Copies of this chain bind each other. A is one copy, B any other.
Amino acid sequence: MELTETAAHPSISFETSPDVYRHWRLEIQGEVARLVWDVKEGQPLRPGYVLKLNSYDLGVDIELHDAVQRLRFEHPEVRAVAIVSGKDRVFSAGANIHMLASSSHAFKVNFCKFTNETRLSIEEACARSGQRYLAACNGVTAGGGYELALACDEILLVDDGNSAVSLPEVPLLGVLPGTGGLTRLVDKRRVRRDHADIFCTTAEGVKGRRARDWGLVDDIAPKSRFEDLVRERLSRLAAGSPQKSGPGVVLPRLNARVGAADLAYSLLRVAIDRKNRTATLHLKGPEGPPPTDAAALRRQGSEAWMLRLFRELDDAICRLRFNEEEIGLWILNSEGDPDLVSAHDSALASFSPTDWFAREIILMAARTLRRLDITARSLFALVEPGSCFAGCLLEAALACDRSYALDDRGRPLSLGLTPLNFGALPMAHGMTRLETRFQSRPEALRALLERVQGGERPRFDAREAAEAGLVTVAADEIDYEDEVRVAVEERTSLSPDALTGMEASLRFPGAESMPTKIFARLSAWQNWIFQRPNATGDHGALKCYGKPSRPVFDWRRT
């Protein structure tokens, strides 16, 4: 990734590829891969800190995210991946403390969100893409380093009397492990909570047999046998994973054109209105019919409409989150033929049971929509004539806090349902956006599902969509513009923090899952702690770390 300057401030890019990785090496060896991290101390994302001991910053994680994504698309032959360190006796010292201590609150929170999304993409690759991950902890495995290990299917630790896994954030820094560590300990690995309590308050961590007995790691081996153990476990993981056929699909760079107030891709254009602090995301539907079979889809490769669109949307979400902090309201609209969207959706849904590439495209779209769900920005959808909010694009509208449809009898619009609306694009808590929306009317949702299962692709004009509960407001051409203008003005006048908390609470009714616990619970606590003088005040633990002075705490408990 590179830093490019805009008029306003340095802008972070999320595009990278293995040929330009600075901190990782991706080594493919038949059906197994090694993802080697060997972080370059002197190449932080921005000047001001040194990435010692495989500590990481956003730049390191952007490469990791890219590698996980490319393994899924470009290397379908890979069935197991070992994350290994390129450094002797050090797996990772975790997120770089000096980077955190010198970052703005908003950056810290978005950094944790992005790294959490990367860890979840690893877990999804294990669960859904037949690529199992193993962490080969050859030495110090601290903080975010251990949290990365926790995201893998298996954790192996060298037993050399010295190497420990640890989450030293609470005792050393006065903050929480910010990448899901606490939740994964007790929820994913089912470590007993009192053991977890001791582990998380012991700066030096836990090593050897105790680490295994407490379930902190899956196996241990002395240094002399560690490499054998890694190889053996990796082969076993690979053998248990499904095989996929055919060559991979290379993901070329998206090459967004970044202007002072816009961001342009081939199927997405983002227009930023700095005065009103809004961004409008124009999503383009497909221009032609879908491929007729999986082979034709494979020939389209990275140019397949849905893959291209959601890769662009994913990139735009990350850029807007980090580079446009003050743009508090994102307005989504779309342009195209809803019949074509529906046809593309239906085609991919029909290929996906037997074609890994179709499946990966849908999984990628689902990850992007989940990124949208947990973005700390208000989201409005404008559904207007000429739009194509069907299927996967309807999901983007359903992810919004509100939607406004223009009910112009002279220029009718059309929303549509496709098979992808009924399970393939789930939210982080496992429910579909329609299930979330129809909580109080499950029978109405069942009726819609039956129509789709019967081969129908139900369509709704503005009024019908409002009656069915698919849009928030349908307004006629006399009222629409005013209604939207007032709603936008009101929204952008409200406290950004209160909106963030409110949206996080209203967007995920019903079920909970490990990811929603991480994003909405653990992260909320961490956000709180990051604001507290005990962590980030002049005498706070995070600020004092590495300095001779000891932190000074306000002992009042809340």
Contact = CB atoms under 8 A, between A and B. Distances in A.
Contact of A557 (B195, B401, B490, B500): B500
Interface string A513-551: 000010011101111110110110000010000000001
Given A328-B557, A505-B176, A498 B535 contact: yes
Contacts of A197: 401-402, 472, 502-503, 506
A120 interface: no
Interface string A176-219: 10000011011100111111111011000000000000010000
Nearest to A532: B497
B555 A494 contact: no
Interface string A347-390: 00000000000000000000000000000110000000000000
Contacts of A469: 192
A369 to B, nearest CB: 15
A224 interface: no
A512 interface: yes
Nearest to A183: B505
A174 interface: yes
Contact of A496 (B182, B524, B555): B555
A193 B379 CA distance: 12
Contacts of A175: 495, 498
A556 B106 contact: yes
A490 B201 contact: yes
Contacts of A499: 170, 557
Contacts of A503: 197
Contacts of A532: 497, 531
Given A190-B440, A490-B201, A506-B193, A558 B110 contact: yes
A459 interface: no
A191 B522 CA distance: 25
A10 interface: no
B505 A194 contact: no
A169 B505 CA distance: 14
A151 to B, nearest CB: 17
A137 interface: no
Counting every copy of the chain, the complex holds: 2
Q: How large is the interface on A (under 10, 10 to 19, 20 to 34, 35 or more residues)?
A: 35 or more
B525 A505 contact: yes
A527 B521 CA distance: 12
A401 B525 contact: no
Contact of A325 (B517, B521, B557): B557
A222 interface: no
A531 B528 contact: yes
B376 A558 contact: yes
A502 B176 contact: yes
A185 B439 CA distance: 12
A401 to B, nearest CB: 5
Contact of A501 (B106, B196, B525): B525
A326 interface: yes
A439 B512 CA distance: 18
B494 A170 contact: yes
A505 to B, nearest CB: 4
A327 B555 CA distance: 8
Interface string A450-477: 0000000000000000000100100000
A171 to B, nearest CB: 6
B505 A522 contact: yes
Contact of A198 (B439, B472, B512): B472
Given A175-B498, A558-B497, A193 B528 contact: no
A187 B194 CA distance: 31
Interface in A64-83: none
B193 A497 contact: no
Contacts of A186: 439, 505-506, 509
Nearest to A182: B505
Given A185-B506, A197-B401, A505-B525, 5 more contacts: A170-B495, A200-B502, A497-B532, A498-B541, A499-B557
